[in-house]
């Protein structure tokens, strides 16, 4: 399945989850109503009951039953919404609830540097925003998870055991597994699972608290019915938890198989992921998480995190996962893995011996293994010949070539820029440096704007960073901005609003907006601002293409004019895209004079398309922009940004 089919499947899973949740709530309401009815009948006065049948007694208390039903539904709904609302801050909130430590920019921590390099490399290769990175320092088991509503607010967390026990290719396999959850639409589903199951759990907790509060009651005779009701509510609540776990297991298991398969597709090798799973099975700590909150997040972990029976297991059997990757593996081999890896081993030194420590400077003295040479970045004058269907299949599905390109992009960015982009205090300076104009007069005006927002110290830092930016390959500029996004998102909302206003002023300092400036501004708006309220974002909408024809026309007009030098060729490119979508000929191409203003609302509307509509739209975009038989690297950047606005991440280099 491709990205669009996976997103459609995730939407179906969400509907199925909601249906199962509603059925579970109705069952809980019915069970509690039965308890209330039994209490009514048991507590009915004998003289009163002698003249009335059971049905008449119940009929006279329908108001009580209705109130009971409404109260139960209200408690579950409020608890679920409260839990989901508490996670609106994004995936970092989930990581922090398990004791996660935000990975610092300290260059002395080699394990952190290796983890950050792997995460950034996969993010660049995938075309998604770089997530926040956390480490569960107290956890010795091998585990990881990705959490958040959308890729823009995602956080990836790994355990200390994963850092200490996994070689780089194994760590890459685990992180690729987690990125597949980001790309496949699993994260929002997982957040909803956490909220809905918490709502069911609250009923059991309420019954237990009521029982605890009755320990000191003096009127034992009068409290017996209440005691029985509280006991029954607690039992029913925990029976609801039983079914909640069953729902969670059913939804989660199939997604884990899919994430394993996607990780292999991403990395184009099975040894890394299989090696990590083998260590989970062979080492005593396994994938265990020693935290009271682990059950809430068990369905989003790389490994199970705790012991469940097979009925409630949120993950497929470990041996089955391994043998899907390595058919020759036998359970007896776990003992050899345990013997080898139970003793302290320096995985960083092992990486260095294998030449896998690029960028870390950890190779031992003497004769270190030479890492493979970085592939060259394409010449900006190079034209690409691409096929629309091939490009749409690239969405959310990076391959080994994309990892090689991402590695080359990342490793060739000067350390000065990387360190500044990763630090919260200087990440904004990197964006300013990317936007400084080549004209000295305009640049002076821009520096005044920077000083007004960030202070006098920012001026010298921005000028220094601009010198390094001037030496960048154009393909490195957007990834550099993406690396800065996690640090920018950590600022409070008022600062971010002021920052975006500053960016807008920098862009319009010369009275116009260039293509790169537009693309960078849109990425900032999409990835930084969306992270402030991620619950509202929708990766896949419900609109149909026929409802978005005017917006598609505006988009194709911009793409065609950017991709063709002559007006007649631009008109043909526009017609080719529109014909592919709507079968129309001779449509008048909208005026592209004020394209900055018209393209933003057009992309916002097109972002609401359903999965099949977005796939067709992307193929038509490629058809339009490549109608002259070529796509330049600059045009491919515009295409990638348009896809990012549609929540359809493209790798850095289009497949031919």
Q: pLDDT of 341-388, one tens digit each?
A: 887 788 888 877 766 666 555 554 444 455 566 667 766 555 666 777
Is there a catalytic annotation at residue 459? no
Measured between its terminal Cα atoms, the distance across the chain in Å is: 20
Phi, psi dihedral angles at 436 (to 5 degrees): -65, 135
Phi, psi dihedral angles at 481 (to 5 degrees): -65, -40
Q: What is the reported pLDDT for 266?
A: 73
Q: What is the reported pLDDT for 645?
A: 82
For residue 68, give every residue at least 6 positions away whose Cβ sits within 8 Å of its Cβ, in sequence order, or none.
Answer: 32, 33, 36
DSSP letter at 652 equals S
The model carries a pTM of 0.82
Residue 477 structure tokens: 């500029």
The answer to whether 603 and 646 have CB atoms below 8 angstroms apart is yes
Q: What is the reported pLDDT for 112?
A: 92
Q: What is the reported pLDDT for 47?
A: 46
Residue 524 structure tokens: 């900032």
Residue with tokens 């700590």: 285
Which domains are present in the chain? 3-88+190-257 (no CATH), 92-179+263-341 (3.30.2010.10), 383-395+538-645 (no CATH), 400-489+501-510 (no CATH)
Q: What is the pLDDT of residues 516-556, one digit of tens each?
A: 888 888 888 877 777 777 666 666 678 898 888 888 888 88
What's the chain's length in residues? 656
CA distances from 605 to 415, 600, 646, 648 (A): 39, 9, 9, 14
Residue with tokens 């960048």: 472
The answer to whether 477 and 414 have CB atoms below 8 angstroms apart is no
Q: Comparing C-alpha atoms, which of 211, 295, 216, 285 is closest to residue 252?
A: 295
Q: Starting at the edge strand that comes first in sequence, how are the strands of the sheet with 155-159 ordered?
A: 101-102, 132-136, 155-159, 144-147
What does the alpha-carbon distance between residue 163 and residue 118 come to, in Å, rounded to a whole number?
Answer: 12
Q: Can you tell me whether residue 293 is helix, strand or coil?
A: coil
Residue 295 structure tokens: 């059950």
Q: What is the reported pLDDT for 525?
A: 80
CA angle (223, 228, 232) in 5-degree steps = 150
Residue 507 structure tokens: 């862009």
CA angle (524, 175, 287) in 5-degree steps = 135
The answer to whether 524 and 431 have CB atoms below 8 angstroms apart is yes
Q: What is the reported pLDDT for 365?
A: 47
Rg (CA), the chain: 28
Residue 305's CB is within 10 A of a number of other CB atoms, namely: 27
Q: What is the mean pLDDT of the chain?
A: 80
DSSP letter at 105 equals -
What does the alpha-carbon distance between residue 634 and residue 641 come to, in Å, rounded to a whole number?
Answer: 11
Q: Give the distance from CA 592 to its chain's centroid.
A: 34
Residue 234 structure tokens: 């607690």
Q: What does pLDDT average to in each consecutive run of 10 residues of the chain (656 residues)?
A: 70 73 81 75 57 62 79 84 74 86 82 92 87 92 88 89 92 90 78 77 73 60 65 73 72 76 77 90 88 78 72 77 90 90 82 67 50 66 68 76 82 91 93 91 92 90 92 87 89 88 90 82 78 66 86 86 78 87 77 73 88 88 80 76 83 71
Residue 432 structure tokens: 């300013």
Q: What is the pLDDT of residues 377-410, one digit of tens each?
A: 766 555 666 777 777 777 777 777 777 888 888 8
Helix or strand run (H / E) with residue 281 = helix 271-282
Q: What is the CB-side half-sphere exposure of residue 513 using CA atoms within 13 A? A: 18
Single out the catalytic residue among 178, 461, 517, 530: 178
Tell the burial category of 215 from Cβ atoms under 10 Å away from its Cβ (0-12, 13-18, 19+). exposed
Q: What is the reported pLDDT for 383?
A: 61
């Amino acid at each position: 399945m491709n990205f669009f089919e996976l997103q459609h499947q995730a939407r179906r899973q969400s509907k199925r989850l909601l249906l199962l949740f509603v059925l579970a709530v109705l069952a809980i309401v019915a069970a509690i109503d039965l308890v209330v009815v039994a209490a009514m009948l048991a507590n009915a006065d004998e003289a009163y009951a002698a003249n009335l049948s059971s049905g008449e007694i119940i009929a006279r208390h329908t108001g009580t039953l209705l109130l009971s039903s409404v109260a139960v539904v209200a408690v579950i709904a409020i608890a679920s919404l409260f839990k989901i609302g508490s996670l609106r801050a994004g995936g970092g909130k989930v990581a922090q609830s398990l004791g996660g430590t935000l990975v610092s920019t300290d260059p002395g921590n080699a394990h952190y540097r290796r983890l950050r390099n792997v995460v950034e490399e996969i993010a660049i290769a995938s075309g998604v925003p770089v997530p926040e990175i956390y480490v569960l320092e107290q956890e010795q088991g091998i585990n990881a998870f990705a959490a958040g509503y959308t890729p823009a607010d995602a956080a990836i967390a790994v355990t200390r055991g994963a850092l200490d026990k996994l070689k780089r290719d194994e760590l890459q396999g685990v992180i690729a597994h987690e990125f597949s959850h980001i790309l496949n639409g699993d994260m929002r589903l997982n957040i909803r699972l956490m909220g809905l199951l918490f709502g069911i759990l609250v009923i059991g907790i309420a019954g237990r608290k009521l029982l605890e509060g009755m320990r000191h009651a003096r009127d034992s005779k009068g409290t017996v019915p209440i005691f029985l009701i509280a006991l029954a509510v607690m039992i029913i609540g925990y029976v609801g938890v039983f079914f909640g776990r069953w729902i969670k297991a059913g939804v989660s298991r199939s997604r884990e198989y899919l994430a394993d398969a996607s990780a292999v597709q991403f990395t184009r090798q099975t040894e890394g992921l299989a090696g990590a799973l083998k260590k989970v099975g062979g080492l005593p700590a396994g994938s265990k998480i020693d935290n009271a909150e682990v059950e809430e997040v068990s369905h989003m972990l790389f490994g199970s995190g705790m012991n469940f029976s097979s009925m409630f297991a949120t993950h497929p059997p470990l041996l089955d996962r391994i043998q899907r990757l390595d058919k020759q593996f036998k359970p007896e081999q776990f003992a050899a893995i345990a013997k080898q890896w139970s003793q302290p081993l320096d995985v960083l030194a092992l990486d260095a011996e294998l030449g896998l420590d690029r960028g870390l400077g950890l190779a031992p003295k003497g004769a270190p293994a030479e890492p493979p040479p970085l592939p060259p970045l394409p010449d900006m004058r190079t034209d690409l010949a691409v096929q629309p269907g091939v490009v749409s299949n690239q969405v959310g599905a990076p391959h080994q070539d994309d990892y090689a390109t991402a590695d080359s992009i990342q490793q060739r960015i000067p350390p000065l820029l990387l360190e500044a982009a990763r630090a919260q205090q200087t990440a904004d300076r990197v964006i300013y440096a990317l936007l400084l104009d080549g004209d000295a007069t305009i640049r002076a005006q821009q520096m005044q704007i920077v000083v007004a927002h960030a202070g006098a110290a920012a001026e010298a830092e921005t000028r220094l960073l601009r010198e390094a930016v001037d030496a960048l390959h154009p393909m490195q500029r957007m990834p550099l901005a993406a690396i800065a996004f996690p640090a920018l998102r950590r600022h409070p909302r008022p600062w971010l609003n002021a920052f975006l206003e500053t960016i807008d002023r920098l862009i319009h300092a010369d009275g116009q907006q260039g293509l790169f400036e537009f693309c960078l501004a849109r990425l900032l708006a999409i990835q930084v601002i969306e992270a402030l309220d991620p619950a509202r974002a929708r990766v896949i909408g419900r609109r149909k293409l026929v409802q978005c024809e005017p917006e598609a026309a505006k988009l194709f007009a911009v793409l065609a004019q950017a991709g063709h030098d002559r007006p007649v060729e631009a008109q043909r490119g526009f017609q080719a895209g529109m014909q592919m979508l709507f079968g129309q000929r001779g449509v008048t191409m909208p005026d592209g004079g004020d394209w900055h203003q018209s393209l933003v609302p057009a992309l916002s509307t097109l972002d609401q398309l359903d999965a099949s509509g977005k796939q067709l739209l992307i193929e038509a975009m490629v058809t339009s922009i490549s109608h002259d038989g070529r796509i330049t690297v600059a045009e491919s950047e515009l295409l990638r940004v348009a896809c990012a606005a549609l929540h359809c991440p493209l790798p850095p280099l289009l497949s031919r």
